[in-house]
Structure 1
Amino acid sequence: MPYSARVNTSDDEVTNRSSSDQAGAHSADTQRTDILAGVDDTPSDRDRDATRWHGGLDFGLLILRVVLGGTMFAHGLQKLFGAFDGPGIGGFAQALSGPFGYSGNTTLLSWITALSETLGGLLLVLGLFTPLGAAAILGVAANVVYVKWANGFFMGNNGFEYELLIGTVALALLFTGAGRISVDKNTPWRRRPMPFALLGLLLAAAASVVVLVVFR
């Protein structure tokens, strides 16, 4: 017996429409999930990269910080207290007005230099507020390089090679950050040092210009 063509009822249309809506909603949910997954995963991956241990790099940064910071800390103590057969504030003030050619308030400049070396060096050793410590050392080194520029590069002629090396290491630490073996380990300026490095560089440059303008 021949079958007659089946006629869609209103119930069939409702069922088909419901299935289509569910399929569309599932597709939209999938798209939203995929988009959100990409957004959510990116910061966490970046944070994991920023805190991932890298033994060689972090140990190397520790060596640079301790050697540079310890050296400048000792120089600061020489100026502040006359430690390690240093000149003390008065002796360093005389040196500033003599060989270095500063004509302003050299006693005040002696205090500024001594505190910059002592506190900046200590911050570098600890890896604490590293951009600030590196900027302090960089500012001092930049001033000495400027003063000694006419003497040439080599130390035998009282040149600026030592101060250039000190300033270069401080500048490098500004941009690398302290590394993970530091008090700064979980700080924003350790994880993303670039903006703080630029700020520190600006502070060092501004301080150097002010010292040269006011005290020379």
Structure 2
Amino acid sequence: MAYSARVTTQSDEYGRHNVFEDSGYYEAQRPDSEIAEPEDRLAYDDAPVSRWHGGLDFGLLVLRIVLGVALGAHGLQKVFGLFGGPGIAEFARTLAEQGYTSQTTVLAWVGGVTEIAGSGLLILGLFTPVAAGALLAVTANAVYLTYHQGFFQHGEGGFEYHAVLAGVALALLFTGPGRIAIDVHTPWRRKPWPFGIAFLILAAGAVAVLITAFR
């Protein structure tokens, strides 16, 4: 008894003919040959979504927690005066000293609440592009305010600390939260690049508005 070597239709994506639907392996069909030569390799189209990457996912969780705890604590300092922080009134005065000329109290509330809310979402891995983009805007603005003091952190000067936090936020914006997150089944975890670009543009726009409209 003869069997056909082709087990799927010609409409398969990318012209590949899947032999085992659940295995991740496929058999390629050449148009000039009735019997195809199997390629013993994984079809990576779905692999990043369905496969567990223990080290990678744990590493992304660590980055989320580190960034979330650091900026969340700063937000609590600014809004509630916790951990020896300044509180809203003092933070608003600090913004005035840094060159902000209007709505300093409103900006103080916006900055502090953004740090708290963005950090909480980032730790949970919920709406990760929104959280990472918001924290990137906050840290990028901090870099702008301190870059004239030099790179190294000497006393109150230097922007190296803010630059590191901004770098982590930027990385998470394009890597996504990993599988240890509430966002595990969302489009922005499966394909973080388009969302990363969109929220990078929004973060840059927010920083531009702060610099041009309130200074």
**TM-score bucket of the superposed structures, by smaller chain:** 0.7 to 0.9
CA displacement, residues 168-199 of structure 1 (integer Å, 9 cap, x when unaligned): 00000001000000000000000100000001
TM-score by length of structure 1 reads 0.80
CA-CA distance at 1:150 after TM superposition: 1.1
For the Cα contact (< 8 Å) 2:10–2:17, is it kept in 1?
no
| 1:24 aligned residue | none
1:36 aligns with 2:12: yes
Shift in Å, 1:32: 7.6
| Structure 2 residue corresponding to 1:111, chosen from 109, 112, 115 | 109
Give the TM-score of the pair, scaled to structure 2.
Answer: 0.81
Partner residue, 2:148: 150
Partner Cα distance (2:47, 2:7) in 1: 26
Q: Secondary structure at the match of 2:129?
A: helix
Q: CA 1:40 to 1:86, structure 2 compared with 1: closer, same or farther past 3 Å?
A: farther
For 1:147 and 1:215, the matched residues in 2 are separated by: 13
Q: Which residue of 2 aligns with 1:175?
A: 174
SS in 2 for 1:33: coil
Which structure has greater helix proportion? 1
Decide whether aligned partners of structure 1 residues 54 and 150 sit closer, same or farther in structure 2, where only a CA change above 3 A counts: same
C-alpha displacement at 1:167, in angstroms? 0.3
> Unaligned 5+ residue runs, structure 1?
1-26
Q: Deviations over 1:88-121 (max 9, x none)?
A: 11110011111x2211211011011001101111
Larger radius of gyration: 1
* Range moving further from structure 2, 141-150 or 199-208: 141-150
Residue 47 (structure 1) shift: 2.8
Amino-acid identity (%)? 52
CA contact (8 A) 1:141 1:163 kept: yes
Higher strand share: 2
Q: Which has the higher contact order (CA 8 A, sep 6+)?
A: 1
- Length, aligned pairs only: 188
Name 1:74's counterpart in structure 2: 73
Gaps of 5+ in 2: 25-42
Looking at structure 2, the residues matched to 40 and 163 of structure 1 have their Cα atoms a distance apart, in angstroms, of: 50
Cα RMSD for the two superposed structures: 2.3
Distance 2:126 2:50 in 1: 17
Amino acid at match of 2:48: D
Q: Whole-Å Cα distance in 2 between the matches of residues 102 and 72 of structure 1?
A: 21
